[in-house]
Homo-oligomer: A and B are copies of this chain.
Amino acid sequence: MPQIDADRLLADLYALREIGKYKTGVHRPTFSPDDVRSRHWLAGRLTEAGLAADIDGIGNVIGLAPGDGPKLLTGSHLETQPRAGWLDGAMGVIFGLELARVLPGGIDVAGWADEEGHYGSFIGSRSFCGLLSEAEIDTCRYREDGTPLRTALQNAGFAGRPRQVMDAARYRGYLEAHIEQGAELENSGQQIGVVTAIVGSHRFRIVFEGQQNHAGTTRMAIRKDAGVALVRLASAIYDRFPAAAGPRTVWTTGTITLDPGAPSVVPGRAEMLFQFRDTDPAILARLEAVVEELVAEANKGPCKVSIASRGRSVPRAMDAGFQDALERAAERHAPGLHQRMPSGAGHDAQVLAERLPAAMLFVPSIGGISHHYTENTADADIVRGCQVFADAAADILGR
């Protein structure tokens, strides 16, 4: 079995953290100068490790191992959420780099572009899988200020480069390591999570149109209060979902907007962003039917209620054999301290799973915190996770 170098692994992670460092975390939005710098840094490290590394036309860093023989694709993403953690994405990329060193000729490494969705939805991994059209790239814009993706690629120096597309025949499959971003491993005292499936999510914008009016002079009987309609629907969703959901389904209203949003004005328009996630497509379909039914009921009230999809991602089961390989390796280095679990968060592995057998390994997140600069994982958990990851890769490669 390969032996990873713990000091080298941590030194690489610490070096990457310096690029866009923010407090104890990192601020490295996709195609920001620090993000671009981190991509060139990674390409350099991969080249030093003996890979043929380059950055392609969508910003993916791809390092290809030399020689023939079986190959595994590994990776994760380099960019971060705003003022977020140092491990989300970065850890999986550096695990790949370390594996490329200890399993020479067997490991390709990818630093996918924009898993965090600053410009679109998994544009990096989808591009590599041949699932991103030029037309879609034309429509992508930076969610903060509307800058077109094309402009950002131009500014980053990546425009005009070819986009690299996967040769699926090259690979045994795809492995990705990631922090859990939840507290399940920590709460149960486990050290390794073997991901069984990545949830699918259905995301919606629900808009309520009523009539804006004076909150003092407009009698209740004639109001068309869009805020009331929203509150009623949101509450009905929370009444109805538990019976229709599965044991691990999650549903969230993260955004509510009342317009004009003044204390003495009856809201004329309201909007909520609602989503739910599960690994079972049947549950997702059932919940969507519940939402549609509730919207139809809401339309019997004084406001006009409309629902639009903001996207649906399909749940992706992880490869059973890869899960077994990860579990065997986990049992070697964390005996009795590993568990199988779904991923409630989305990851590039769900895209790669459309083309290759794929699997993921989780390490614990301290306090379950993620997308915040205090996100962290104990060094010992990082090192152990990488060794388990390397063992499983060697197993899959037949070494």
Residues of chain A at the chain B interface (Cβ within 8 Å): 180-184, 199, 201, 203, 212-220, 222, 225, 227-228, 231-232, 234-235, 238, 242, 245, 248-258, 261-267, 273, 275, 277, 310, 343-346, 368, 370-372
The docked-state distance in angstroms from the alpha carbon of A94 to that of B311 is 57
The docked-state distance in angstroms from the alpha carbon of A258 to that of B274 is 13
Contact A217 to B346, CB < 8 A, known contacts A231-B231, A238-B228, A266-B254? no
B231 touches A235 (CB 8 A): yes
For A236, give the chain B residue with the smallest CB separation.
Answer: B235
| A251: chain B residues within 8 A (beta carbon) | 220
Contact A265 to B258, CB < 8 A, known contacts A232-B235, A344-B217, A345-B214? no
| A218: chain B residues within 8 A (beta carbon) | 182-183, 250, 344, 368
| A214: chain B residues within 8 A (beta carbon) | 181-182, 344-345, 368, 370-371
Contact A267 to B254, CB < 8 A, known contacts A217-B345, A345-B217? yes
A217 touches B253 (CB 8 A): no
| A257: chain B residues within 8 A (beta carbon) | 256
The docked-state distance in angstroms from the alpha carbon of A212 to that of B255 is 13
Contact A216 to B346, CB < 8 A, known contacts A231-B231, A263-B275? yes
B220 touches A231 (CB 8 A): no
For A220, give the chain B residue with the smallest CB separation.
Answer: B250
For A242, give the chain B residue with the smallest CB separation.
Answer: B220
